[in-house]
Structure 1
Amino acid sequence: MRVAIFDFDGTLYSKETFQLLMRHMKHHPTHRSKYKTFFRKILPLYIGYKIKIVPEHTMKERSMQIYVDALHTLPKNELDDYFQEMRESMREGFNKDVISRLKQHKKDGVHVMLVSGAYTSLLNAVTEDLGFDVIIGTEIPFTDEGALNRDVSIHHIQGKRKNEKILESLAGYEIDWTNSFAYGDSFSDLPVLELVGKPVAVKPEQRLKQVAIERDWAIL
């Protein structure tokens, strides 16, 4: 079985999800009052990251936690609806070339996967008609009653964690890695891109672009 693994931010979606999440909360007709609390908590974290006290992976994981904590009063069904509201604005930012590649892989019978650090429920909402065989994202922990479980921390899917989840999902299958594909835009996507024989750098940041050139990878 061949696979095609797609990143989301900067790859399938040409922008940054978290920036859109922030705007969505800030201007939301019902939940905008939560933005001030969210912003007060995230600001010191972001400053720590900018002055290189807080590592990037830590900043991202804590940011995801702070965002969900700000919406802790919403049960799962309402939080799903909240993400669903972002569907159309996010789809406007989809990379048409990447969508074209995705459709071709599906025609060719390739097992297509979306692997991202974005919230899984958000990914499901905005890509529900694209036909991904597997969607792997950052899960939001809920109790059996559907309330946010604040005793369980967010486990942000990034870096090598993506590979762990990919291999876990594909356990039991015989994968033709040499003829499989992966699409990513940032240097942090390198572990996933190195899994396959046909990596594609999508509008890559400079560090990834340099790697792609040195290794003669495709650049989209």
Structure 2
Amino acid sequence: MGSAKNKITFFDLDHTLLPIDSDYAWGEFTQAIGWTDPVEFKRRNDAFFEHYKAGTLDVHDYVRFAVEAIRIRSEAEYREAHARFMREVIRPVVLPAALNLIRRHRAAGDTVAVITATNELVTRPIADALEIEELIAVELERDGAGWITGEISGVPSLGAGKVVRATHWLAQRGTDWLDVETTFYSDSMNDLPLLEQVDHPVATNPDPRLRTLALERGWRVLDLFAKPQ
């Protein structure tokens, strides 16, 4: 008999492990601290969010927009602001249900990773707060001084790009899809390519389209943040 396959569990982040969209919330936070024009930024942020939900987002345009408030400031200013964002916005919504789910997979011997369409500057501290070391996020191009340019580096982890990035992540560890047993938790139809790729797709707090599809295909549906009746 062959040995059991190593188990990998991928988690989407926004509306999956968190009950909010961290990218959108960061945008609102930059408004609140005076980094962006409250009227114009909100108008564009809302428009991009609608495109995301509809699956029509131009991720390159969005990332340029979303990181501009960081790009024009120093790394020290970003770190100070993000620490406050973590205290005031993120940590209050990191719920026991999410932490317990992650810990159950880790206790079962799974390697766990967050895979998200939100950029690395917003999400690295969040993954740390969730006690997840492995993060596959939108990576940002750096200039000669080591600070972000506003452009994406490599393949963005959005839609089919999540499959590309996860495949590369596996390859970096000397393995591939055939050699591992994979699970993916996601709320969004945007993540259908990766949900179809893994062995165990879990529609988690799913949007209406994904809930319908999951029920049709017999996928597990998990309402992680549902209150007990």
Give the structure 2 partner of residue 76 of structure 1. Answer: 75
Once residues 99 and 23 of structure 1 are traced to their aligned partners in structure 2, the CA distance between those partners, rounded to angstroms, is 25
2:22, 2:122 within 8 Å by CA — same for their partners in 1? no
Map 1:1-12 → 2, pairs under 5 A: 1-12=6-17
2:15, 2:21 within 8 Å by CA — same for their partners in 1? yes
Change in CA separation of 1:87 and 1:181 when aligned onto 2, cut-off 3 Å: same
User: What is the aligned residue count?
Assistant: 211
Name the SS of the counterpart of 2:81 in structure 1.
helix
2:140, 2:148 within 8 Å by CA — same for their partners in 1? yes
Once residues 43 and 79 of structure 1 are traced to their aligned partners in structure 2, the CA distance between those partners, rounded to angstroms, is 23
Once residues 44 and 129 of structure 1 are traced to their aligned partners in structure 2, the CA distance between those partners, rounded to angstroms, is 29
More strand by share: 2
Once residues 45 and 97 of structure 2 are traced to their aligned partners in structure 1, the CA distance between those partners, rounded to angstroms, is 35
1:74, 1:148 within 8 Å by CA — same for their partners in 2? no
Give the structure 2 partner of residue 200 of structure 1. Answer: 202
**5+ long unaligned stretches in structure 2:** 1-5, 223-229
Map 1:178-217 → 2, pairs under 5 A: 179-217=181-219
Q: Are 1:57 and 2:57 counterparts?
A: yes
Q: CA deviation at 1:44?
A: 5.9
**5+ long unaligned stretches in structure 1:** none
Give me the CA root mean square deviation: 2.8
State the TM-score, normalizing by the size of structure 1.
Answer: 0.82
Identity %: 19
Give the structure 2 partner of residue 23 of structure 1. Answer: 28
Change in CA separation of 1:46 and 1:132 when aligned onto 2, cut-off 3 Å: closer
2:11, 2:114 within 8 Å by CA — same for their partners in 1? yes
Once residues 129 and 44 of structure 2 are traced to their aligned partners in structure 1, the CA distance between those partners, rounded to angstroms, is 38
Give the structure 2 partner of residue 86 of structure 1. Answer: 85
State the TM-score, normalizing by the size of structure 2.
Answer: 0.79
